[in-house]
Structures are given as C-alpha cells and as structure tokens.
Amino acid sequence: MAQWQEVQNLANTYLEQVHQLYARSALPMAVRQCLAAWIEGQNWRQAAEPLSSHAPMLFHSLLVLLGESLGSLGSGYEDFMLKHNLRKAHRDLQAEFGKKPERFANLVANLLQEERRILRLGQAGGQGGSVPPPSPAPESSREQQIQRRLAEFQTALQEAKRAFRHLEDLQDAFDFCYKVHYQPGQERNRDPEYIQELQTLQAKLQNLDRQRRGVLAQMQQLLGRSETLQELLQQELGDWRLRQQHVCLGAPGDTNLRHLETWFTELGQGLFQLRQLLRELNDLRQKVTYERDPLVAETPLLEQRLQEQLTHLLKSAFVVEQQPSTPNAGRRPLVLRTGSKFSARARLLVRLHDRNHRMEAKIHIDRDPPNIKGFRRFNILTSSSKTLLAGDSPQEGLICDFQYLTLKEQKDSRAGKGKGASGEGPLVVTEELHLITFTLAYAYCGLELELETTTLPFVIISNNNQLSSAWASILWFNMLSSDPKAQQFFSSPPAAPWPRLAEVLSWQFQSAAERGLSRENLLMLARKLLGSKPSPDSTVPWPKFSKDGAAGFSFWAWLDGILSLLQEHLKQLWKDGLILGFVSRKQEEKLLKSKMTGTFLLRFSESVLGGVTFTWVEHHERGSPSFHAVEPYKASELVSLALPDIIHNYQMMMEENPPENPLKFLYPNIPRDEAFGRYYSEKQEGNLDESKKYLNRRLIRVSSRQPKWQTEEELVVATENLEMLQLQPEGQGTQQPGGLPLPPSQGSGTAQVTPGNLGTPQVTPGNLGTAQVVATIPGTAQVTPGNLGTAQVTPGNLGTAQVVATVPGTAQVTPGNLGTAQVTPGNLGTAQVVATVPGTAQVTPGNLGTPQGVTTSRGTLQVMATSPGTLQVTPGSLGTPQGVAVSPGTPPVVATGPGVPQVTPGNLGTAQVVATGPGVPHVTPGNLGTAQVVASRMGMTQVMATSPGTLQVTPGSLGTPQGMATSPGTLQPRGLGTLQPQPQQVPQVVASGVPDIQGTLQVAPGAVGSLQVLPGGLGVLQVASGDLGTLLGQQGTVAVDTGMLQAAPGAVEPQQVPEEQGTLPPELRDLELLPGSQDMQELLQALEGLEPGPGTLGTLEGLEPGPGTLGTLEEAELMPDMGETFEERFQLSPASAALLDHHDPFLPQPEDCALPAVPSLFSSSDFLPLHIDASDFQ
C-alpha cells in the first residue's frame, strides 16, 4: 500500500502527529495529498545532496504537475477551496524554494522519513504489543531466512544500480562543465568570473567524489551481506548432502533440489550483475580520474572479493544429484556389478549458461586411486564425456545425465595380488571403495572455471551373492565417514556408536517393510551384538557386525536374511505390527508366563538364517507353565503357504485327543482370527469350478507333541530387565511405549512410562489419573492429563517433554540437563515447572491457569500467561525467566539471585516485577499495560514503556532502575534508588519524573523529546537531552522549573532552537561547565602535572621476541601516555606490526600524476583538494 494511504489509516493519536508535522511544514498537506504517488516515487534524499542537478528538475516537475492538477479540478465548492489552496501553495513554493530547490528536496525527504517513523510507531502500537519490542523477531526457519535475504539482496542491488546511474549523470555533468569552463592558462587567472566558475567546478568534483565513495560503500555492504547469504546456502546444501546420504541408506527424506537450485541461481545471477556493475564503474574511471580516486584504490579489492565469492558459489553448486545405481537396485544404490548397466547424474545448481557456448562434462573413475595393495582398476566402457546442451530443457536445469554406463576391470590390475605381499593384505572386494568424478568446463559472461564433483564411494561386485556384504560396507561408510572421499576407510574402519547403528538398522526395516524397529526390538539386537544392555556410549566394531558370528554367520548376514524374508513374505504382517520379531527366549517366557494358555507370539529365529517361528504358552494344573516353539519357517516354505494360513490351520496332534489348534490368542490377548482373519487366503488348492467333484483340501502344518520342545540356541544370556516388561501395568493406568499402541486408560490409574532411546511415549490419563513420565535420551515424551489428572514429567538428558494439561489438571515438569520442557495447562490447570541446569522450560497457561516456574542456575524459563492467569516465576541463581502476559493477566515475577527476568505484559496486562539480589529485570509494557517494578537491593531494573502504558517504578535501596519511555507513557519513580528514564524521539511531553527524597533522577530524552522534571527535596537531578546538553543540578538544591526544555519537533526544521530559559548559546549547547570549575588555563596546567609517567615494565624485552620493531618513530612519539607499556608491547610483538601497509600502493605516485600546472585552481581552503587529471580530457 502506498505510504500516504497507510498514514491515513493510522489511529487518531498518530494521525494527530501527522497533522502537527504538516502544520509547521512548508509543504502543505494539500499538495502532499494531491501528488501523493508521484512524491513517493522520487528519490528526494539523493536530490538533496548539495549541488544536485536532480533537485531543480524535481522541483520544476512538481510545479508543473501541480499546475496540471489545478487545471483538471472541477468547479464544485470543495474543489473551489482546494483550487485556492493549491494555487496558493504553487505561488508560495515558487517564492520560497525557486532559488534553493535542494532545500525543498531535503524538506520532502525529511517529511517522508518522519511519516515512516510515525507509521512504524502506529503500526507497532496497533498490534497490541503482542510482540515485545526489544526482543528480536522469532528466529525464522533457515528457508524463510534465505528467501528474505535473497529479496533484500535484490533490493540492495537495484539500489546500487540506481546510485550508479546517478553517478553516471553526475560525471557527465561534470565532464561537460569541465570541457566548457576549464581553460588552463595564465591570462584568466585574475578574472573573478573565471575563478567563480572554477570554484563551481571544484564543488562538482567534490560531489562526484562523494558519490563514487557512496557507491563503493554500497558494494562493500552488498558483498558482506551476500557472504552471509552464501554461508546459509552452503549450510542448506550440507544438510541436503547428509539427507541424500541417509536416503541412500533407506531413511525417509526429501532430496529434491528445486529450492536449492532456485536460490543458487538467484544469488549467482545477482553476483554476475554486481560483476557487470563493477566493470561499468571501471569504465567511468577510464573517462574521469583524479588524485585519490577511490575507484582506483578500491575496485581491484572488490573485484577480487567478488571473483572469489562467485568461484566458491559455482564450485559448490556442482553436485551429484543421483548417486550411481543399477536400474533394479531398488533401495540399495552404490553397489554396482561389473558388466551391468548403471547410471549417475550431476547437476549445476546455478542455472546460468551461455547458449552459444558448448559445455563439456566428463566422468572418470578413481581418478586419484588410493594407495592400497591390490586395489582393482576399472574402465568405463561407454562414452565418458557428454556435451551439456544449453536450451534443451530450460525448466530442468543444467544436468549431466550419464545412463547405461558399464564397468570392466582392467586385466593386469591385480597382478600384485597374493604375491607374498608384505604388510597388510589387500582389502576384500566388498570393502574396496570406488569413486566417480564429474568435471565440467564452465563458461559464462567471460568467467571460465573447471568445476568438479564426486559421487559417494561405491562397491563393485562381480556376483550377486556379494550384494549383502557390499551393502553392509555402504551402510558402515555412510553411517560413519565424515569425508565422502575417504577411499581408505576400510583399512581401519571405526566402530559405530550403538544409537547411530540402531537408527540405521531401523531404516533398513522401514524401507524393506515400511515399519522400523521398536525400542524393544533394538534392545534385543543390542544385547545380541554387545552382550549387555546398551549405554549411549556403546560401540560396535565392524568385524563384530559383518564378520564374526557364533552360529556360523555374521550378525549382518542374519539380519539381512530376516530383511529379505520380511520383504518377500511377511511385509503386511510386519507393517501391521503383528510380528513381535526380536525377542529373546528368556524375554519371551516372561511375556507369555502370565497369559492364558494358547497365547502365542511371532518372532524371528536366532539360529536359522531367515526364519520365523511362533511360541505359545500352556498352563498345567500343577507346576510351571510350558512353552512351545515350532521349527522356524523359511522362505522356501512360505512360498507355498503364507504364514497367516499356517497359523489359521496349525494343528497339534495329540496322542489320544482329536487334533487341535493350540494357537488361540496373539500376545497379549487378541483372539487369533481377529488378529489374522483378514490375511487368511480364501484361495484353495485347485480350481473351484472344476473341482466340484472333489472334496476340498487344505495344506496345513501339523506338529506332534514331543516330550521336549524344540529348542533354539539362545545366543544371548539376558539379564533381568523388568522395566521393559511393563507393557501392561497393574491397575487401570495405561501407557503407550513406542511401537505398541494400546488404548488410553480411564479412571483413576497411575501410568508410569519410561521411554528409552529414540522412543516416543504418549500418555493420556483420563479423569483423575496421574501420569508420570520420565524421558531419557533422546526420546520425546508427550503427556496430556485430562480432567483432574496430574501429570509429572521428568525428561532426562536431551529429552524433550511436552505436557498439555487441560482443566483442571496439574502438570509438574522438571527438565534435567539439556532437556526441554514445554507445558501448556488449559483452563483451570496448574502448571509447576522446575528447570534445573541448563534446561529450557516453556510454560503457557491458558485462561485461569496458574503457572509457577522456578529456574535454578542457568535454566531458562519462558512463561506466557494469557488472560487472566497469574504468573509466578522465581528464577534461581543465573536463571533467566521470561514472562509475557497477554491481557488481562497479572504476572508477578519474582527474581532472586543473579537471574534476569524479562517481562512483557501485552494489552491491558499488569506486570509486577520484584527483583531482589543482583538480578536485572527488563520490563516492557505494551499498549495500556501497567508495569510495576520494585527493585530491591542491588537489583537493576530496566523499564521500557511504550505508548500508552503506565509504568510505576519503585527502586529499593541501592537498586537502579533505568526507564525508557516512548510516547506517551508515564514514569513514576519512588524511593531511594536511582532512576534513569530515557524517553526517545517524542514530540510531546513524554516523561515526568518525581523522585522522592534522596533519589537520583537522570533523564536523557532523545533527539526530539521535551521533558518535564519535578524533583522533590534532596534529589539529584541530571538532565541530559540528546541535542540539548547536560544540566547538572547541585545536590539538595534543585531548581524546579528551570529544567524544562522544549524543542520544536524538528524533522522539518534544519536545526532545533531551544526556546526556554536554561538553554545555552549554540556553540556550547552540548556542554556546560561544571559549577565552580577552575579557570581553564589553570585546570590545564593542573592536569598536565597529574599525568601519569611512563609505565614501568623493564622485563618486557624478553617477553615476545619478534622480528624487530615495526612501528615508526613518529608513532612512538604519538603515544607517550597510557604508559609505555602499550607502546612497548605493541612494538615488541610481531602481532602489533601493522596489518596493513601504511603506504597505500594504490595511491598514485608523484610521477604518475600528470597534473596540469594550475596550482592556484584547487588550492582553495577546501578540505579535500581534488585534482583533475587533465590528460584524461582531450
């Protein structure tokens, strides 16, 4: 929306400010209104520069436009008045500014700026203070940040271009005048007219120089910002690389490059445009140059910096989009087979290319082969180069897509293998890592670069039976290597931390059968691998994972067997969670013991590769229950009969009774057919239509009872692990540990949930329930107590606990180290939060909720009260509680110890802050809020009132509150403390302070403020206004009304003129001598005597022996004072040698300056005598 329109939509208080602004302005509001759009479209600030050729042009245009609109007005009464006003304005403006158009430009520029300021205030005020003004905007996501920065970069670039065009104009104007007026020669040197012309010329050159420096500063700023932008892009690209690596391993994730491509292209485009601008700037220098021309000194630096940045961007923008994979590899890329086709694709994210230039992309395999004995070498059989065709598919970007590649091993490459090699033997084939390198000869706009990128390492096999172990290598590498080019990785493979391995294993199940591993599954696998319960520090060595194995096969071979069994035959059952899967024998008995006879579970065999079995429990009238397990089914059997059908028709042959199916309930208690019914196949053997004459027959599995049940080798001796077994706690409470969804509890139970690694427990107690959740690393616990429920949550290290209490539950949350607790009580709920070192607790009570927070040292507590709850926050030592009250709650915040409470009441809220000890509370009331601050001993309060809150500040003994009121808040200090209110930039009376006895009142209004101070007895009054100087009242005897300073709100006036008494003559406006100060000369002498002598540090010589002293003698003399200490240290250390040459190499040397002999021309008293190099003008 246009600015003037927005201004008109402001609230009345702000509109009033706008009216006042124009009441004293030489530009009538009628003109502003009439030509609103045009006025806003011009660059007045630039035109206001001295001697701008732009200013007369703009002024003239305005008068012409004004005339035109006069002509187009009708003859109605309202128009009649408007016409009159505009005609008057036309006349007045012409009279006042006709000779000084740049003053008019300055006036308009200031008006627009002031409007924007009022707009900002008004719009911030209109938002009801929901955002605390001093705190920065919430950190947006990186994606948003990149987009915002890209937009800002574009804007700044356009601005730089505009400034450059202006510079061109200035230079042309100067050039013209120079050629016309500059006539070196003696005869006219005394002609006053000529001298006048030369002075004008000199001024024009000054102006040109300033504009050149301005443009250069803009370029520096632009490059600085684009460096940050590029840093963010690199981080985003790094994340993408990691994501791609994970996705290769089967993790879910998006590896689309669309966003990155757009961002890289936009930044690349911007940098190329900047490069062009820099070239044009150089062209300007070719036409006009002078002594100390900034273009000469600074453009080479800018060029270097830009070139480096652009190169860095392009080099990182060349990425492998699709890692090498064979077409049917499915979920397992990076394993290639000799003779089989594979493909790989690279992409240049900067989508900029020259249509007329052919770019060649090439691939090489193992360009820099590692020094490993017996390392196989391969040739790429198909063509290894490709032309990147421009314009082929503009929307698809710049890609090098290599398809149908095949590899062939070089015949003689393994000649050395097995020939009595000393030292380490060669790696096995599946541990040999190979790389493909892409290169691209890039050329655009005269920039030529050789770009390259490499794939992730891959394994080349010659037989499909190597696939499983090849994949194990790929898993291990991508899980652990930080260097994607480390081809020597398996010469000494590192061990894998268990939590990391657990995650990667879970991805394997996720990608094979769409369901990852549960916490219990992983615990069993960990025991199998580690032999004990895993700790966060447990690690698994590579041989243990892929090579050793008690049963004749490695852990990975066993797991991979299960994976392929799952994928081919049990996908649906696994996905639906019917297979418990990884349960040890001991565990299994514990689970089944308390269940009804016929309760069974499905698990994978530990003794057979790729086998699944079921175990059921049978209770006897006497003695302990017995458990039966059937011999594991393998893929070969499941091909002919699916597992649900086996379960359905499974028969137990009894000695005397008819056969029966012992499988009755799937653990814990689901009737068999309910669990498996929908998987039973209706199909019967043979064709139904044809086989009516036959009786149906079904293939079923039967076991006969044996005295001893078939045992499986127990690979792991498990210790007791009770907490894992609390799948169904006593009573009516309920829990949901990861992976096993169970219905929520009703009534008054107690639920205790302990998620371990990676689990996410969700607990919902019903009425009257109590939920206790303990989250350990790095799980997430979510607890929602219902009515009257009590939720107690204790996240451990790194855990995240989210608690939502609804009416009228009580939530108690204690985050441990590094934990994050988020608590949201609903209506009537009570939340108690205790944050210990250094957790973060966030509490948001709803209506009527009462949150109570206690932070102990270093915790951070964020409390947000919505109406009308009560907020009590007690930070311990070093804790930082932050409270935000939205209307009309009353959050009293009590900070003890050195904590820092920050309180921001929103609309209508009342915030009470009591700081004890050396804490620093920051209080910022929003609109209409009331903030009451009591700083007691040693506390320091900073109070900031934004309009129109009321702020009451009561410092206790020794406390120092600092208040800053922006319009039109009121500050009322009391007591013994020191009060420093600092209202800023307010055109009305904005602050009035009444200190009581013995208080100290320091008032520093900002530039435009005016101030009324009424001190009581014994107070010390210090008034320091930004522009208007320092008034120091004498202790105990403060003149009451002389402290009033009134300044005209100054945006329009070039200078403020203080009117009232108590002001000073302009020269001394900023200073007043202290009462009773000595005669200046005396003082100076006295001080000279007091100057400290050179410091003593005789021992310094030995301290930092450096290569000699680099400072010059002149400089040494410059710093006699501050102790020789500094000086000596400075000279002694090599550090203190100047970073930069004192003599700028870019300054033209005397012999370079072919300066014409007109010394008198520029020897004026001007500060910057610039000299024109006449050799550049012919």
Partner 1 sequence: AEAIGLYNLGQSCCLNSLLQVFFMNIRFTRILRRITVPPSPGQRRSNVPYQMLLLLEKMQCGKCKAVGPTDLACCLSEHRVKLFVQHDAAQLFLTLWNLLKKQMKNPELVAELSDLYTICIQEHLACQKCSFEIKSNSTMLTLPLPVLDASSHRLKTLEDSLQYFFHPEELTGQNMCFCQQCGRKTTFLQSMKLVHPPQTLTLHLKRFCFEQSFRTHKLSHSLPFPQELDLREVLTEDQCLANDSEKATWQYELFAVVAHSGSTSCGHYCAYIWSLTECKWYCFNDSEVCQVSWDDVKCTYGHSNLYWRETAYLLFYMKKHPQ
Q: How far is the CB of 1023 from partner 1 (least distance, A)?
A: 12
145 vs 721, beta carbon nearer partner 1: 145
Strands 539-540 and 496-497: antiparallel
Q: How far is the CB of 156 from partner 1 (least distance, A)?
A: 8
711 vs 1149, beta carbon nearer partner 1: 1149
Residues 6+ apart with CB under 8 A from 516: 506, 507, 509, 510
Q: How far is the CB of 293 from partner 1 (least distance, A)?
A: 9
Q: CA nearest 398: which of 453, 307, 319?
A: 319
Lookup: tokens for 683: 């199909």
Give me the DSSP letters along 576-603.
Answer: TT---B---HHHHHHHHHTSPTTEEEEE
223 vs 989, beta carbon nearer partner 1: 223
Q: How far is the CB of 1142 from partner 1 (least distance, A)?
A: 6
154 vs 721, beta carbon nearer partner 1: 154
Q: How far is the CB of 170 from partner 1 (least distance, A)?
A: 15
Which residues make beta-bridge pairs with 305? none
What is the distance between the alpha carbons of residues 1140 and 467, in angstroms, rounded to a whole number? 60
Query: Could you tell me the CA-to-CA distances from 1030 to 254, 367, 992 in Å, in that order?
Result: 62, 74, 17
What is the SS3 assignment for 1062-1119?
A: CCCCHHHCCCCCCCCCCCHHHHHHHHHHHCCCCCCCHHHHHCCCCCCCCCCHHHHHHC
> 660 near 651, Cβ under 8 Å?
yes
Give me the DSSP letters along 229-298.
Answer: HHHHHHHHHHHHHHHHHHHHTT-------HHHHHHHHHHHHHHHHHHHHHHHHHHHHHH--BTT-HHHHH
742 vs 1084, beta carbon nearer partner 1: 1084
What is the distance between the alpha carbons of residues 801 and 776, in angstroms, rounded to a whole number? 10
Lookup: tokens for 39: 């006025």
Q: How far is the CB of 717 from partner 1 (least distance, A)?
A: 45
Q: Which one-letter amino acid corresponds to residue 797?
A: N
Give me the DSSP letters along 623-652.
Answer: S--EEEEPPPEEHHHHTTS-HHHHHHH-EE
What is the distance between the alpha carbons of residues 332 and 247, in angstroms, rounded to a whole number? 10
259 vs 1129, beta carbon nearer partner 1: 1129
What is the distance between the alpha carbons of residues 868 and 872, in angstroms, rounded to a whole number? 13
Consecutive H or E run containing 29: helix 29-34
Q: How far is the CB of 742 from partner 1 (least distance, A)?
A: 45
63 vs 297, beta carbon nearer partner 1: 297
Q: How far is the CB of 1085 from partner 1 (least distance, A)?
A: 10
Lookup: tokens for 125: 């005020």
Buried/exposed code over 1025-1054 (b: 16+ C-beta within 10 A; e: otherwise): bbbbbebebeeeebeeeebbbebbbbbbee
Q: How far is the CB of 944 from partner 1 (least distance, A)?
A: 10
What is the SS3 assignment for 1132-1170?
A: HCHHHCCCCCCCCCCCCCHHHCCCCCCCCCCCCCCCCCC
3-state secondary structure of 559: helix
1119 vs 1154, beta carbon nearer partner 1: 1119
> 335 near 329, Cβ under 8 Å?
yes
> 121 near 13, Cβ under 8 Å?
no
Q: How far is the CB of 827 from partner 1 (least distance, A)?
A: 35
702 vs 1057, beta carbon nearer partner 1: 1057
209 vs 520, beta carbon nearer partner 1: 209
Lookup: tokens for 562: 């299960």
Cα dihedral: 598, 602, 603, 609 (round 10): 110
Q: How far is the CB of 819 from partner 1 (least distance, A)?
A: 21
Q: How far is the CB of 1114 from partner 1 (least distance, A)?
A: 6
549 vs 1169, beta carbon nearer partner 1: 1169
Strands 910-915 and 930-935: parallel
Q: How far is the CB of 151 from partner 1 (least distance, A)?
A: 14
Q: Which one-letter amino acid corresponds to residue 630?
A: V
994 vs 1116, beta carbon nearer partner 1: 1116
53 vs 1025, beta carbon nearer partner 1: 1025
60 vs 312, beta carbon nearer partner 1: 312
Q: How far is the CB of 1029 from partner 1 (least distance, A)?
A: 9
752 vs 1056, beta carbon nearer partner 1: 1056
Q: How far is the CB of 281 from partner 1 (least distance, A)?
A: 15
713 vs 1101, beta carbon nearer partner 1: 1101
What is the distance between the alpha carbons of residues 1146 and 530, in angstroms, rounded to a whole number? 68
159 vs 197, beta carbon nearer partner 1: 159
580 vs 1052, beta carbon nearer partner 1: 1052
Q: How far is the CB of 987 from partner 1 (least distance, A)?
A: 13
Q: Calculate ∠ Cα 673-679-682, nearest 5°.
A: 95
What is the SS3 assignment for 929-962?
A: CEEEEEECCCCEEEEEECCCCEEEEEECCCCEEE
Q: How far is the CB of 386 from partner 1 (least distance, A)?
A: 29
What is the distance between the alpha carbons of residues 843 and 848, in angstroms, rounded to a whole number? 14
Buried/exposed code over 184-201 (b: 16+ C-beta within 10 A; e: otherwise): eeeeeeeeeebeebbeeb
Q: How far is the CB of 1166 from partner 1 (least distance, A)?
A: 10
> 361 near 316, Cβ under 8 Å?
no
